[in-house]
Structure 1
């Protein structure tokens, strides 16, 4: 009798459990896109990321486990502009019949020379103004998936967009400590062109836009000499390694040019949990502080 009485007591609550909606799953290619998405959805959706912190999207090869993650998605999100080498994220989504949103859609990309051809630079998130466009594209994709959540998505995005504007103003203030003629950023690969454009830096890198052709023999003798000559002629104080790229090449360049390695910059990936770069804003702030310490 006690068991029956307990069951009758619980009955009014059972429909609430049964009717609780399943949270939609958003699967992102990169750590930056995953962070943008989490800022927008809060706890309304589950956000998963294919790449681990420190992984390189240019050279990444999806695993069977990644295909299983993609299979759980209600929506996939990619950077686009061929950041994901051989378009691996689009392939994962297509193979599982999942819709995919491209975060760089509608953005005016910079052009780079690669093998005698002009290509679009995919590292657009390094401009906070472009990061805002990522956010707006993500909001649009989420709103199609979950129209009932539009108000929540837009409200969260509005707050985050203000944080991005604050970040941009803070970066400009920090770089006042570096003379314009000393704003030369030498990194492992050509990932910082949008950043350099926004903040008045010149960029020099031993390899091009993708690390995919860097591994092994991507740096030609001509390009190496050009970078070393630039370091010497501009009086560059320090060069920088990247968290997602083997540091050996830049360390060798620094030794040859007689300059210091100024620190490690987050580039194609954010940092892991508990690090200064575990969010997009944290990553950008840490990069700026590292650059200022080395070049001021």
Structure 2
């Protein structure tokens, strides 16, 4: 090979390497890869990222983040990610999402940073309630945290991310106003929300349910107990729960999609209170269902709660 040909080849190679170097590793649509712990966070991220990247969720619809055990497949998914997103406030039991990210050497963002947490009692201790997304105003905090994170990761896409986030934040404001309008249909004395576990504190506080319980959730069990939510129920605790629900005047009580309905159905039978239906709680719904998005799950929950509390237990109202 003569010197001119070799020189030309080197120029072409240098040009190709320069072009490759100019491609933003996380900015190209096939380069931005985000892994989230929960389905709600995945939906927030998809609304912000759009087609500019991929969002993978560790939890499947209906899975419980409190008791989830990561799999080898999860490890591979995180190893391929640019960014990990978690709820935080101990929602991910035993810090499984943080452990996956740290072991893979990946950056992780806690989406509840900046939320003013509510305190709940668990086994004699006061802990922050992790279910902050049940307030659309808190959901906006999640969205802003995610937007800042992807802007840092892919500054070339900042305008797109912020434009999408602006639209989604507007949708959250509309959702908040709509929920208040729907809840206003329920007389205050009938705004009693009883669910399986303490997932609805932020919802109750934001929309003024359970006045006699300081606008906090009424639930048989705390937000997480051992290997199964509700596994720590004792006969004495059960007696207290049955009495409190019977005395609350609740028109209906609700099961949750991520927790076995056995306990709450037994309590409903013991108290004589109707089952109002099944609420999305720690996870959104399956694909092609009404609850497959955050706005969808909130909409369906509110419609179910309003209808059940207005139509059940008239003799108690």
- Fold conserved (TM > 0.5)? yes
Moved over 6 A (4+): none
Q: Which residue does 1:290 correspond to in 2?
A: 304
Q: Alignment partner for residue 143 of structure 2, among 135, 139, 153? A: 135
Matches within 5 A, 1:23-172: 23-172=31-180
Partners of 1:42 and 1:226 in 2: how far apart? 48
Partners of 1:149 and 1:206 in 2: how far apart? 46
Deviation at 1:214, TM superposition (A): 4.5
- 2:187 corresponds to 1:191: no
Partners of 2:167 and 2:237 in 1: how far apart? 43
Q: Which residue does 1:262 correspond to in 2?
A: 276
Q: Which residue does 2:266 correspond to in 1?
A: 252
Deviation at 1:234, TM superposition (A): 2.5
Please say if residues 225 and 231 of structure 2, whose CA atoms lie closer than 8 Å, have aligned partners that are also in contact: no
Please say if residues 255 and 264 of structure 2, whose CA atoms lie closer than 8 Å, have aligned partners that are also in contact: yes
Deviation at 1:227, TM superposition (A): 2.4
Q: State the Cα deviation string for residues 52-110 of structure 1 (Å, max 9, x = none).
A: 00000000000000000001100000000110000000000011110000000121100
Deviation at 1:218, TM superposition (A): 1.4
Partners of 2:142 and 2:226 in 1: how far apart? 24
Which sections of structure 1, spanning at least 5 residues, go unmatched?
1-14
- 2:244 corresponds to 1:227: no
- Structure 1 residues 245, 36: closer, same or farther in 2, change over 3 A? same
Which sections of structure 2, spanning at least 5 residues, go unmatched?
1-15, 211-216, 311-317
Please say if residues 193 and 209 of structure 2, whose CA atoms lie closer than 8 Å, have aligned partners that are also in contact: yes
| Partner secondary structure for residue 51 of structure 2 | coil
Q: Which has the larger radius of gyration?
A: 2
Please say if residues 73 and 98 of structure 1, whose CA atoms lie closer than 8 Å, have aligned partners that are also in contact: yes
Q: Which residue does 1:238 correspond to in 2?
A: 252
Deviation at 1:219, TM superposition (A): 1.6
Please say if residues 58 and 212 of structure 1, whose CA atoms lie closer than 8 Å, have aligned partners that are also in contact: no
Partners of 1:195 and 1:247 in 2: how far apart? 21
Partners of 1:40 and 1:204 in 2: how far apart? 34
Partners of 2:136 and 2:80 in 1: how far apart? 31
